Structure 1
C-alpha cells in the first residue's frame, strides 16, 4: 500500500537550508559582537538615470504561488490555481511592466529570426560605410594625442643618440646607485591590515582595570581602593563606535549619492541647460564678480566725480551680459561727470545707433570744444553731406584743430579742398601737413608762394625745405618731358628753351637743400644725420631721385670723423641697398669716389651696384672710369672686357684687353683672359700665339697648364704632353700639371708611364688628394683593387684629414661588393673627420631606408650649414615623394653655396620630373648667372675636354642627365 506524503513533509523538502538563504537587507556580519561594517561603491552600484534599466543584483521579489487552501495534494492531487498578477509597486518595471515581458507568451518563430537577420545586415552595411571615416578620424585623434603626449621613448630619443658621444672616462665617472634611505623608517611595499578580533579588544580593555582580584583583597583587609581605577573604561560599547563610523561613512557617501541605487544628485539634462545659459565671456568666478561690483559701487558712492569708476562699472555689467544695467549706470555717470569726454564716448558706444546720436548731441552741448566728441559725431553719420555739416560745425567751434581740418578736407573735392586748406593754414599756421597739402593742390607759381609762407611760419622744419626741392625737381622733369615732345614735333627753338629752363630747375634742387641746412643751423636746429638720410630714402620712394641725391651729397659728411669716412660711407651705401634705395647708394659712391678716386674697393662696389641693380651701360661706364683712375687693378679690366664680350662686342673686348696689356704688361690674368676670349670664339691660332707670347713673357705654371689644355682640346696630345713636361721642369710642385701628365699618358695608352707619373707626383705633392684618387682609379681600371686599396691606405696615412680620400676608399669597397668593409671605413672616417659634409652625405644613403631619416638628423647636427648635407636631405625628401619639402631644401642648398654645380644639376633634374617649364627655365637662368665651377658630378662634365667651349647653360642639362635619381 502506497503511503502518500503529507503536506508538512513536502514543505520541509522544498525549504532551503539556513546558510543557503540570501542575507536580509542591511545586514552587517558581526555587528552584534562589535564589528564595524562598511559599504563600497560596488555595493551601491553606478549612478543611474530614472530611465535606466534596473540593476539585476537587486531583483524584484519573486511571485508567490497561492496554493489551494483546502489541501495542496490531498484529495488525489487536485491542480493548483492560476497565478495571480502581483500589482505591487515594487514589482513594476518601466520597460517590462508588471510581472515580466508582454511577449513572454508569444513564441519566437522563423519570421522573427529572419527579420532580426535583415536588421543586423542593414546595421552592418551602415557600419561598413562609416568605418573608413571613423578609422581616419580616430587616427587623427591618436596622432594629435601622440603629438601632445609623446611616448617616453620618443622624448628620450635625442638623449639616447647623445650617449654615442659619451667617452670612457665619463662612463667610469658615473657614481654607483646607492640606497641612501633610512632603513629603520622603511615600510614594506604592500601592507595588509587585518581587523583585530573582539576578544582581543575586550581583553585589552580589561587589562586597564589594574587586577580586580587585588581590589577585592584590599577591600577585605581594609586596604585602599585602586588609585588608577578611574582611568578604566569597563563600559566601552564597541557597537556604538561601529555605528558612529557607519554614520560618518554615510554622510560622506550622501555628498555624492542620494539613495542606495547610486543615482547622482546632479541632473545631467539640467546641467547641460545651465551650461548653455552661462555667459562665456565671464572670465572669473561669480563671487569675484560680486566683489568687483561691490567695490565699484563703493568707489562710485565715495567719489561720484571719478569717471573711470562709472566706466568700469558699466563695462563690468556689459561683460556679465547685463547691457541695460550698463546703460543705466553710464547714464548716471554722465549726469555725475558731465565734463568728461571718456564717459560720454562710453555712453555713446553702449547705446544703440538710433540713440547714440542723441547722446553725442548732448555731449557736444556739454563739451563744445572736444575734438573727440565731434569726431565721434561725424562717425555716427552715414550720409557724406551730414558728415560734412558736422565737421563744419565743429570747425566753427574749434578752428585751431588740425585733425578736424584734415578730416574735413578729405571729405571735399580738390577745388573745395584748396579753399578749405587756405583757411586751414590761416587758423593753424604751425601745421606742416596743412601747408604741404595746400602746396600739392596749387600750381607751380602758387605752390612756391605757399612754401615761402610756410618757411616764414615754420622756419625750423626741414620737411618744408625738402618739399620745395621736390617742387623744383617736379617742374624740371615736367618741362624736360615737354621739351622732348616739342623736339619730336620739330619745334627745336621752343624745345631748347624748355630744356634750359628744366636744367635751371634741377640745379636749384641742390641749392635749396644747401640753403636749408644753412638756415636751420642759423636757427639753432640740430642737424641729425640719421633723420636726413631716412628722409632721403622716403624722397626716393616718392620718385624724386635728384632731391634724394642732393640730400645725400649735402648730409653725407655731417658728424663723421675724417679717418672714418670711407668705412662709414660704405656702411651707408650697404644700408641704402638693403632698403632698396639704389639712387641714394649711387649718390654715396659718387661722393666717396670724388674724395677717394684711387680706392679700388669703392670702384668695385660701385660697379657691382650697377651690375646688380643698374643697366649694362651704367656698369660699363663705371668700369671705364674705374680703369682710368686705377689702371693697375687687373680685376676691373677683366670685368670690363667680360661685360663687352657677354654683350657680343668682341672687338670692344679685344680693345679693352689690349689697353690692359699696356697698363699691365706681364699680368697672367690678362693673358689668360685674352686667350679665353680668342679660344671660345674659335680663334685657335690667335689663342696659340697669345699663349706662346705669354710663355715667353710670363711663364707661370697656370700659363703652361692653359697652353697644354688648348693643345689637348685641339687633339694634339704629344704637343700637350711636351708643354706639360716643360712646365714640370720649371714647376715640379704643381699638382695640376702632374694630373694632366698622368691623364695624357692614360689617353695615349701608356699605362705604365702613367703609373710611374702618378707615383712620382704623389711623392712630390703628397698633400694633393686628386692625385691619389687618380692613381687609385688607374689601378682599379687595371683590375687591381688590392693595389688601389694600398694606394688609398698610404694616402690616408699622409692625409688623415682629407675627406675625399676616405670617401674614395669607402666607394672602392662598395664597388667591390664589400659593404661591411665600407661601413667600417665610414665609421672610422666619421670618427676622424666628424664635421665632413661629403662623408655624412654618403653615410645617409649607405644605411637602410628606415634609418636614413635618423642619419640625416645626426648629419644636420654635425654639419648644419654644409651644402653636401643639405643636398643629401633634399634627395632624401625626393625619394619619399615629398615634393614641396624637397624643393624647399634644394633652394636652401643653392642659396648656401651657388658655386656647387651638383646642387643645380639635381635641382634641374628634379624640376624636369615634377616642375613646370617655367620653373626649369628659372633654374637654368639662375645657374647661368651663378656660373658654378665645383662639384663632383659637375666637374666630370665641365672638365671633359670635349666640352671645352660649352657654357654653363649647355653644361647643366648634360650634368642633370648624368646624375642618378635617388632611390
Structure 2
C-alpha cells in the first residue's frame, strides 16, 4: 500500500486516508494444466521484433555551398577530436579519422592524423601499413617511400613491412631499389621464407648466379636440412647435376648427426635414383640405416623397402624387409621393455641376420677343401630355422639355396642332400623327399645317398623302388661289392619276409621259389634250413 500527500488551496494537503492507493491483489492460479496453445520463447521474441519501431535515424543532410561544407567538416573534426581525447589508445578511432580526412581530399590533415597516431603507438605495424597504403593509393610515391623507410628502420623484425615495401618498388619497376631493400633486410637475418622470397625475386629476372650466391648466404644463416634440400632442388631445375651431388655431399658431411638427417638421406637417394644410379642410391640408403638412430629412421626404412622392391633382387628385398622388421621390434621394445615375446622375436631376427652375413661369404675357389667348413654354416642355418625359428618355408628355402649354390659338376656334399630329404620327410612331404634324393642321384651319385635312399624305401615297403635303386647303384658303381651283396640280401630278405606271412594263397609256390633261389646261390646250408622249417610247418 502506497500513500502520498498532495497540496490543496483549502486544506493545504489531503489526509492519509484520502491519499491511499490500493494495488490489485495477486490472484492465485487455480488451473495449472497446460494451455492448448503453447507459446515458445522464440515466438515471443519474433513478435516483439515485429512490433518494434524502426530505428530513428537523422535525416540525410544535403550540402549546397562551401559554408555548409565548412560547418560539416568542422563538426566532424570536433567529434573525432572528442573521441580521440576519450579513447586515445584506440587505433580504430585514429584510422577512421585519417580515412575521413582522406575522403575529403585533405591529405595534409590526413598525414597529420597518421603522424599523431604514430606518436601514440609507433610499434603498431598496422598503422604504418595503412599510412603507406594511403600514400600509394593516391600516387604519392615519395611520401610512401618515406613512410616505408621509417617503418623498416623502427620495426625491422616485422617481415610484412619489408614485403610491402619491396612489392611497391617492384611494381614501380625499380628492380635495383627492390634488390637494395632486400639486401638491407637480409642483414637482419630473417627467417627462411625471407631468404626464399629474395631468391624467387632474382629468379623472376633470370639472375641465376645471384640466386646461387644468395643460397650460399642462406645456408650460412640457416644451416638446416630444409635449406640444403631447397638448394639442391634449385640446382636440379637448372640441370647442374654435379652441383646437386656436391650440395648433398656437403650437407651429409655437416648434418649427418642431425635429428632430421633421414630426410636428407632420402632426398639424396631419390636424386640418385632419378639419375638411374641405383648402386649409389642403395649405398646411400644403407649408410643412412647404419648411422641414423632407429627411432628416427622409419621413413628411411619405408623408402628403402620401396626402392628394393622396384630395383633390387630377392636378396636386396629380403635385407630391406628385415631392416624394417628390426626397426619395428626396436620401437616395440622401447615402448614396452617387458614384452618378452617381442624380445624373443627380435633375438631370432638378429640371429638370422648373422647367418645371412656368414653365408654371403662364398669361398673363392671351386675346390671341396675350401667348402667343407663353409657348408656347415648352411646346415646350422637350416637347423636354426627349423628347430628354433620353426619357419618351415624358410628352412626349405635355405636348403634350396644351398643346393643351388654348390657346383655339383665338380664336387658335392651328400650330407646336405640327405638333410634336405630328411627335413621333407619330417614335414610328411614324401614326394619332395624322393624328388631331392632323385636329383642327388642324378647330379651326385654317392654311396651314402644310395644307401640312405634304399633304406628309406625299404622301411616304406616299396620293394620295386628298392630294386630299381639297386640297379641304378650298380650302374653307377659296378665294381662295388657292397652294392652286389646288399642287392642279393634284398632279394633273400624279400623271400624271408614273405614266408613270415600268416595267410598265403599258394604257399608251396613261394617256398619252392625260395629254395630254388638258395640253391642257385650255392647256399646249401640255407637250403637245408629252409627244408627243416618247411617240414616243421607241414
Q: TM-score range with shorter-chain normalisation?
A: 0.3 to 0.5
TM-score by length of 1: 0.23
